[in-house]
Chains A and B, each alone.
Chain A
Amino acid sequence: MYKIFYLLLTCFYICSAKNSLHSSMIRHFKPLVFSAILAITLSLGAETKGNADEGKKIYEANNCGSCHNLDKKVVGPALRGVGKRRDIAWLTKWIRNNQALIKSGDADANALLKEYGGAQMSTFENITPAQVVDLVAYLDLPKPPPTGGAKKPGVPEPPKSDNTLYILLALIGIFLVLLLILNKVKNTLRKLNAEAAGEELASSNKNWLQRLLPARLANMNQVVLALFSFAIVVILGGGYLYSFGITEVGVQKGYAPKQPIAYSHKLHAGDLKIDCKYCHIGVEESKSATIPSANICMNCHKGIQKRQDDESGVDISPEIQKIYTALDYHPEKSGAEQFGSNGKPIQWIRIHNLPDHAYFNHSQHVKVGKLQCQTCHGPIEKMEVVQQWSTLQMGWCIECHRNTGIDVANNNYYLALHEKASKDMKENKSRSKYFGPDGKVKVTVALNGGLECSKCHY
């Protein structure tokens, strides 16, 4: 195509240059040059067939990419080099009205329909036969060499071992030992010095504890001293262990296990702004929010096989391949053969392990209480790896139930409570419990039985 453009440019140049060139020369050459250019242009035009740039525009304007990819099967076949496989007249018929072509009994068309499991292509009668030629020219372009692609795909970072604490402790230990040694050396030197001077040091027959302690304590009875220091150790250590026990043992806040697929909530819920309910479909209907089944992934990942900014050069990202493996899905096949029968469930690791003896229901909190997911799960749309955000301790539940006001007036779920509350207030009975500390009406979850033991433990 560019060749034609340059030839025409040359032609234009020669024509316009007649003023500067000798006129007689032009007069002799002009017809010759023109005929030569015309002949070359015609022969080239017959060779290239259509404008690939125009073809690209047509391809994009008609969103052919929604079902086709140039180099791999999506819904329809891979299209690169289609002009070499089919003749242009057949392609024109197929693209403009494939259904008419199928009905006419064309063998190739019907074979194609069968191969793709009866999935019908839309008709594109808005594309003129001349545009089909351009389109095919675009589709016949050779594959461009991959850009970038130097990075190796899917090399995971070595796991960071969290041993800073141990290093710190070891260092502290070493320094303490050094301190003690130096102290010992100092004492020995002092002792030697005293012996040399013929004196006797007062502290020489004290033990190490007596030496560490101030004189008043050190002169106490040894047994009392031992008991006293033992009691201190027991009280401090016990207190520490007790507080540790109630804040850490059995509390999994911060638990962020590595999942079988490196699914990023930051990408999906944050950047792509997909509503949580798109995947966690049970959250308004049932006790659990539900872990999405793989078919939900496939609503998008049938078409999206790698990140847009993926430069590793792979066709299918290894993480998305795991979904395909779980479903036994083979994108390179077509029709009913795409799904095999050897699917294997993805074993996600459960993060929020509420004990069996406590009952929790998502629908009650999300549908009735109209809570945001983030209230309990934290800024999930910013988490690359999900971690348990709340403690899920009983005190945490109770505190929220005591303090959260409920919208009794505008929520049919609280109809009975609303009637009772308005009746009580009219009759001036137990009025005070319906008011918050600021004097405004506030009906809390606790007033609706949110603190009853049997609501959660049964």
Chain B
Amino acid sequence: MEFMKKSIHIITGVAALSAMISACTSRGNNPGWEYAPDMVYSKGYEPYSQGDSNTINPHGMNMREPVHGTVAFGKEGYLYPYANTAEGYEAAKGLNYPAGLEDKEGRGKYLYGIYCSPCHGATGGNDGEIFKRGLGKPSWKNYQDDYIKNIPVGQIYHTLTYGKNLMGSHAYVLKPEDRWKVVRYVKELSGAGIATAAPADSASMKKTK
């Protein structure tokens, strides 16, 4: 009986050890074991660190919303003069493509490929995967449509800034200059091209103080 007891002890010991070891392999919801976690998690506040929930800020977040009226990083010192209203859209007709802004590196095309083509398609045929799967298409057929050929550049810029109908604002990702480069590429796709000889002092790139 002594022998039996011993072997049972050994077997359960081995089983428990294997179970413990397998529990520290990361898999599924289990991140696994860590050594010295105090060197892994930042004590200082970092935007995405999850060491301890922040007890001061709302929702336990480390990031806070900027104070109202803050000019965001990346605004490049330009302020857009028109509001997101029907009047603003109408007024945006007066905006011209900024004089002297060129796009030799094809940045407009690059950005179009990332931010526009999922819906509007690689060449503006309104045939991107998302439009194919049932998100409502715009009322015009494609970028070669007269609607895009004739629409003032300022209104495309306005639409990129605020969004229109089901399209959301893309100002969060396209800086003012990038937005103009995308407008330029859209006009190139339509075949209409862009009038580059715009007056230098257009409202489109008015500097703030």
Chain A residues with a Cβ under 8 A of chain B: 62-68, 74-75, 118-120, 122, 124, 162, 165-166, 169-170, 173, 176-177, 180-181, 184, 208, 244, 248-258, 271-275, 277-278, 281, 288, 291, 293, 295-296, 298-300, 302-304, 308, 344-345, 349-350, 353, 355-357, 388
Q: Decide yes or no whether B167 CB sits under 8 A from chain A.
A: yes
Write out the residue numbers on chain A whose beta carbons fall within 8 Å of the beta carbon of B118. 272-275, 278
Provide the residues of chain A in CB contact with B119, threshold 8 Å: 300
Residues on B facing A (Cβ under 8 Å): 3-4, 6-8, 11-12, 15, 18-19, 21-22, 24-35, 39-43, 47-50, 59, 61, 85-86, 89, 113-115, 118-119, 129-130, 133-139, 163, 165-170, 172-173
The complex places the Cα of A74 from the Cα of B166 at a distance, in Å, of 8
Query: Which residues of chain A come closer than 8 Å to B48, judged between CB atoms?
Result: 288, 291, 350
Contact of A66 among B27, B129, B137, B163 (CB under 8 A): B137
- Please indicate the chain A residues that have their CB under 8 angstroms from the CB of B42 in the complex: 356
A residues in contact with B27, CB < 8 Å:
162, 254-256
Query: What's the nearest-Cβ distance from chain A to residue B128, in Å?
Result: 8
Distance in angstroms from A83 CB to nearest chain B CB is 21
Interface of B is mostly: loop
Docked-complex contact A298 and B168, CB < 8 angstroms: yes
Please give, as numbers and ranges, the residues of chain B lying within 8 Å of A272 by CB-CB distance.
Answer: 118, 129-130, 133
Q: How far is the CB of B62 from chain A (nearest CB, A)?
A: 11
Kindly list chain B residues whose C-beta atoms are within 8 Å of the C-beta of A166. 19
Bound complex: CA A176 to CA B7 (Å): 9
Contacts of A298 in B (CB 8 A): 168
Which residues from chain A contact B135 at a C-beta distance below 8 Å?
Answer: 300, 303-304
B residues within 8 A CB of A308?
133-134
Q: How many interface contacts (CB-CB < 8 Å) are there between A and B?
A: 164
Residues of A within 8 A of B19 (CB): 165-166, 169
| Chain A residue contacts of B7, Cβ below 8 A | 176-177, 180
B170 contact set on A, CB distance < 8 A: 299
Q: How far is the CA of A183 from the CA of B54 in the complex (A)?
A: 62
In angstroms, Cα B39 to Cα A124, docked, is 64
User: Is the beta-carbon distance between B28 and A356 smaller than 8 angstroms?
Assistant: no
Q: Bound state CA distance, A295 and B18, in angstroms?
A: 46
For A248, list chain B residues within 8 Å (CB). 24-26, 32-33
